[in-house]
Structure 1
Amino acid sequence: MNEQGRKPLIDASFTQQVLFPIREVSRLTGVNAVTLRAWERRYGLIQPIRTDSGHRLYSQADIDDIRSILGWLERGVSVSKVGSILARSHAIAGHTSGASDAWLRWQHQIRLAVQCFDLVGLGRLYEEVFAACTLDQVFAEVFMPVWHDMAVRRGGYGQASEWLFLDQFLRSRVFARLQLAHGPRSRTVLLSPLPGQCHELELLVTSLILGSDETGVTPLVCGQPLQELALVCERLKPDALVLFSHQPPTAELTRQLTRLAAVLDCPLLLAGEAAEIAHDSLAGSPVACLGAQGDVMRQRLRQFLAGQLDT
């Protein structure tokens, strides 16, 4: 940082990058310049470099971050909370920088296949990524970033159709893997979306990621009434009920979750970005937070079912 708290001026490390002025970034992302400056000054979300004359220049990584921010804002996450989510994503990327080029290449190929509505080519890419990556990486680093980005930018002609094509493809493939994994397990978990707070694909992917050889995860359909979950659990008798959402729970929803936990015969857990955001506010309550990252969610679920993790 320089004396004004800004990023350094352009140096040799940026000379090979394509850099964009703020007006072009506004055109590409739909975020006006005033908002971009506010995100930089008030929240530190985007830190463009500066020319000698003080003009802002943004890298492709900055543009990707802006689109990620839009995705979280669309889900109801406040702008003040987005910074911690981005920081965690950047930290993960920093530990896996050697693989990031491959992930970006696959993302580009996926976009091309979707633009052509190339089902065969998309299927070939899906199998290629699965053969080279872990389950978490397949979705968190390759497919879901493309899906999220396309979901945010559905305003242009043809973009909604392209997103629906990718969404349908991924739902069918994830559902097929869930069916293959279906079988007797020593423990069973129900996964339910909080009403109106996630897409079916996000729920299916989370079901796949949470499952293990010991634990079978059954997703409930989007639209499942929150007030009827006690009845569902009474009849199915799961070892735990996991609620999933990427949106921060309101004070009223937190009260509803506390009441629900009191009448359940099994533990109540929260997963997704909602669990990260609400972790402090739910501390000491009967609702346990699993987090949002695949490996962390699996570990915490396993520990909780084994009685090794408190709420």
Structure 2
Amino acid sequence: MNKQGRTTHVEAGLEHQDLFPIREVSRLTGVNPVTLRAWERRYGLIQPTRTDSGHRLYSQADVDDIRRILGWLERGVAVSKVGSILARGQAHLQDMLPAGCAARWQAQLREAVQRFDAGSLDRLFDKVFATISQDQVFAEVFMPVWHDLAAGQGAFGQTSEWLFLDQFLRARVFSRLQLTRLPRRRSVLVAPLPGQCMELELLVTGLLLCSDDVGATLLMPGQPLDELAVVCGRLKPDALVLFSNHAPTAELSKRLNRLAVGLDCPLLLAGEAGEMAQESLAGSPVACLGAEGDLMRRRLRQYLAGQLDT
């Protein structure tokens, strides 16, 4: 057996054990032990268990959290801010789903993806959609696994698994978006911030923003920010919603303010950027919708009705 085959075999065996020592977690995630200890001691981002002799042992959930942390750091979020994002997602999960429910579905999802089993994915997607709300489907089951696979693409075979899941979800979300194309009283144009969004994230955001009285039209990644005023002038949306999960910068705030001045409709910011930019954009022409589905829809309705200040 070649070296690559031996490595893959060892990792597969380790991932089915209950707990991992720190050296294996470092190898699986690419995060060195010094950084793992700092994330624990200084920021409280992970809390491994300890053996009687004091050695750290990490669960699969800890490994998943480490990959989520890496994902947020790659988006430019400061490590000191990552904890609040993870805590918000965990609190939302505990409030809305029976204990262990999301974890079981995520495990089934991972198993189907590892087998490249499209039939099982179809059945699981339909089952989850029939059981819980649309917001929960994405926030608590499918998107966490999608993010974990995206963050862990250094592992052999994981890029192929992520691409398989990404293609499946894009097709299913796009189909559901087609069902929302009936005329609505209000319409919003949803666009990504350049270089800060993948197609699936944008599709899911567009779907979550739709409601009985608000429809969404999406502009795909690659849309130039400077040309949005032209597009809005022709489509006449009730609002332009920009999406990003990356940490906002001072330069971004300036660009958004300049864009807002040239628009004939309100400018709104959604995603984690919309959660983190509320203070920096306070008093500006840009309103922040947040990152959770129900919150985004509620703030969007309030803003379109003139009940939400920027």
Give the TM-score normalised by the residue count of structure 2.
0.91
Any idea what the Cα deviations from partners look like across 1:150-198, whole Å, max 9, x if unmatched? 1111123322121111111110110011111111000000000000101
SS in 1 for 2:100: helix
- Judge conservation of contact 2:28–2:155 (CA < 8 Å) in 1: no
Give the structure 2 partner of residue 188 of structure 1.
187
Superposed structure 1 runs of 4+ greater than 6 Å apart: none
Alignment of 1:273-292 (within 5 A): 273-292=272-291
Aligned partners of 1:108, 1:20: CA distance in 2, in Å? 18
- Judge conservation of contact 1:193–1:203 (CA < 8 Å) in 2: yes
SS in 1 for 2:226: helix
Count of residues in Structure 1 that have an aligned counterpart in Structure 2: 294
Aligned partners of 2:275, 2:120: CA distance in 1, in Å? 36
Give the structure 1 partner of residue 38 of structure 2.
38
Matched, 1:68 2:68: yes
Give the structure 2 partner of residue 209 of structure 1.
208
Alignment of 1:246-261 (within 5 A): 246-261=245-260
Aligned partners of 1:111, 1:57: CA distance in 2, in Å? 22
Give the structure 2 partner of residue 157 of structure 1.
156
Give the structure 1 partner of residue 84 of structure 2.
84
Q: Which amino acid aligns with 1:293?
A: E
How far 1:97 sits from its partner (Å)? Answer: 5.3
Aligned partners of 2:288, 2:95: CA distance in 1, in Å? 24
Any idea what the Cα deviations from partners look like across 1:45-100, whole Å, max 9, x if unmatched? 122333443332333332222121112112222212211101211221332352x4
Give the structure 2 partner of residue 29 of structure 1.
29
Aligned partners of 1:77, 1:110: CA distance in 2, in Å? 28
Q: Which amino acid aligns with 1:92?
A: H
Any idea what the Cα deviations from partners look like across 1:186-241, whole Å, max 9, x if unmatched? 00000000001010000000000010010001110111000000111111110000
Aligned partners of 1:159, 1:205: CA distance in 2, in Å? 22
Specify whether residues 79 and 52 from structure 1 end up closer, same or farther in structure 2 by C-alpha distance, changes over 3 A only.
Answer: same
Aligned partners of 1:284, 1:42: CA distance in 2, in Å? 34
Give the structure 2 partner of residue 105 of structure 1.
104
Give the structure 1 partner of residue 297 of structure 2.
298
Aligned partners of 1:95, 1:60: CA distance in 2, in Å? 22
Q: Which amino acid aligns with 1:54?
A: G
SS in 2 for 1:181: coil
- Judge conservation of contact 1:81–1:277 (CA < 8 Å) in 2: no
Alignment of 1:256-275 (within 5 A): 256-275=255-274
SS in 2 for 1:198: coil
Specify whether residues 308 and 96 from structure 1 end up closer, same or farther in structure 2 by C-alpha distance, changes over 3 A only.
Answer: same
- Judge conservation of contact 2:22–2:56 (CA < 8 Å) in 1: yes
Q: Which amino acid aligns with 2:200?
A: L
Q: Which amino acid aligns with 1:33?
A: P
Aligned partners of 2:150, 2:19: CA distance in 1, in Å? 25
Aligned partners of 2:33, 2:214: CA distance in 1, in Å? 48
Q: Which amino acid aligns with 1:117?
A: F
Root mean square deviation, CA, Å: 1.5
The more displaced of 273-282 and 108-117 is 108-117
How far 1:118 sits from its partner (Å)? Answer: 1.4
Aligned partners of 1:249, 1:110: CA distance in 2, in Å? 32
Structure 1: runs of 5+ lacking an equivalent: 1-16
Aligned partners of 1:43, 1:101: CA distance in 2, in Å? 26
SS in 2 for 1:280: coil
Give the TM-score normalised by the residue count of structure 1.
0.90
